[in-house]
Amino acid sequence: MRILYFSDNCSDHNRRFLEKLSFFGHEVWFMDATNDSVPEGWLPQGVHRVSHRGVVRRGSDPSVYETLLPEIQSLLAEMKPDLVHAGPIQGCAYLAALSGFHPLLVTSWGSDLLLDPARNPEWKRATAIALCGADGFMCDCDTVRKTAQGFAPIPDSRIAQFPWGIKRGTFSPGGPIPVSVSSASEPEVFRLICTRSWEPLYDVDVLLEAFRRAHNQNGSLRLMLLGDGSMAGAVHDFIARHGLQKVVLTPGRISAAELPCWFRAANAYVSCARSDGTSLSLLEAMATGLPVLVADIPSNREWVSGGENGWLASSGSAEDFASKLLQIASLEPSERAAIGERNPRIVAERADWDRNFPLLLNLYECLAKVKTVKPA
């Protein structure tokens, strides 16, 4: 099958999809609406890049994406793909829907449905157009699926729902940890890890304040705050202002190959993100056997049962997150061991990337049979 995979970034997520599609023998073409090139070595073997002139800034208003419509229609007429797989909703999927191409599979990345339609009428309208123009839909959790079906009557039979998932064996309790945190100089510390981007959506300010409060009551707490982002200045200012330089580690962006080592160095995982689909970093932490603390939102409740395999805290509440951090740090060894067995099992049963991916391939085959008129 000849597939155009249309997105707005060269992320590890997108690369995994492209790699898997190519592995299963499809002729795959990748187009990034926000860039006219891809990083060297990023494109998986066998995947082709679509050369195009127009680009937009990621996160632009739907009306900005509309300026690319003539070129995308021309490209589709030339390529004649069997299927277009496009997302996020108000950008690439919206543009693909405007092109009139079918069959169209629309993918949501979570916040594009859970938050973005509420920005203003333009974004809400683009959401409806994209979903009403879709022949099929892909998402990672019940929360996103139900929201999408509120915009368009997409039947369950035309939906592929599964978490992005992780490759079996990549994240596990046993294995090496980073040299920078493997020193025995602090043998009694309790290390928390957060791998979310330093962006407003992920409430890193709430996390820092929660950690500060919890650390004031339990001096053994340490925070490994991986990543970077637009809030970097505010993050480093907070750490310096409260004298947390020795207890908050900020190693920057960590490669995918190194990430499992960092999870193994932690005793628990925390994320204050106020909106999520199925969070990949949450699954990575669970596969490593860590107790988890996340915001009490519907998508997280699909994975976390309070007190059984982790904790849920009130979204935006540094006080509640601090209280739960202290609870996690005071777990008995037997309780920690039980979670360490339970969480990897949950991920293995529900979020195995290799086992779930055929759901998408089956939907492709179904949509390829859709009898619709393609652009001339």
Return d(Cα 169, Cα 352) in angstroms, integer: 10
Tens digit of each residue's pLDDT (9 = 90 or more) over 124-136 = 999 999 999 999 9
Shared domain check, 100 and 20: yes
Mean pLDDT (whole number) for 67-79: 97
Helix (H) or strand (E) holding 159: strand 159-161
Predicted confidence (pLDDT) at residue 370 exceeds the cutoff of 80: no
Return d(Cα 216, Cα 213) in angstroms, integer: 5
Shared domain check, 212 and 154: no
pLDDT of residue 188: 84
Shared domain check, 233 and 145: no
Report which of residues 373 and 343 the model is more confident about.
Answer: 343
Shared domain check, 120 and 26: yes
Shared domain check, 239 and 305: yes
Q: What is the mean pLDDT of the chain?
A: 93
Tens digit of each residue's pLDDT (9 = 90 or more) over 250-303 = 999 998 889 999 999 999 999 999 988 889 999 999 999 999 999 999 999 999
Predicted confidence (pLDDT) at residue 373 exceeds the cutoff of 80: no
| 133 in a structural domain | yes
Tens digit of each residue's pLDDT (9 = 90 or more) over 165-213 = 787 888 989 888 887 775 545 668 999 999 999 999 999 999 999 999 9
pLDDT of residue 13: 86
pLDDT of residue 42: 94
Domain encompassing residue 212: 179-350
Pairing, β 221-225 against β 248-249 = parallel
% residues pLDDT > 70 (the chain): 97
| 170 in a structural domain | no
Shared domain check, 259 and 239: yes
Shared domain check, 336 and 194: yes
Q: How many domains does the chain have?
A: 2
pLDDT of residue 183: 53
Q: What is the DSSP string of 280-303?
A: HHHHHHHHTT--EEEE--HHHHTT
Shared domain check, 145 and 30: yes
Segment among 223-227, 233-237, 347-351 with least mean pLDDT? 347-351
pLDDT of residue 184: 47
| 211 in a structural domain | yes
Shared domain check, 260 and 221: yes
pLDDT of residue 81: 96
Q: What is the CATH number of the domain that holds 248?
A: 3.40.50.2000
pTM over 0.95: no
Shared domain check, 309 and 291: yes
pLDDT of residue 375: 41
Strand order in the sheet with 159-161: 48-49, 27-32, 2-7, 83-86, 104-107, 136-139, 159-161
| 172 in a structural domain | no
The amino acid occupying position 162 is F
Return d(Cα 224, Cα 247) in angstroms, integer: 8
Predicted confidence (pLDDT) at residue 320 exceeds the cutoff of 60: yes
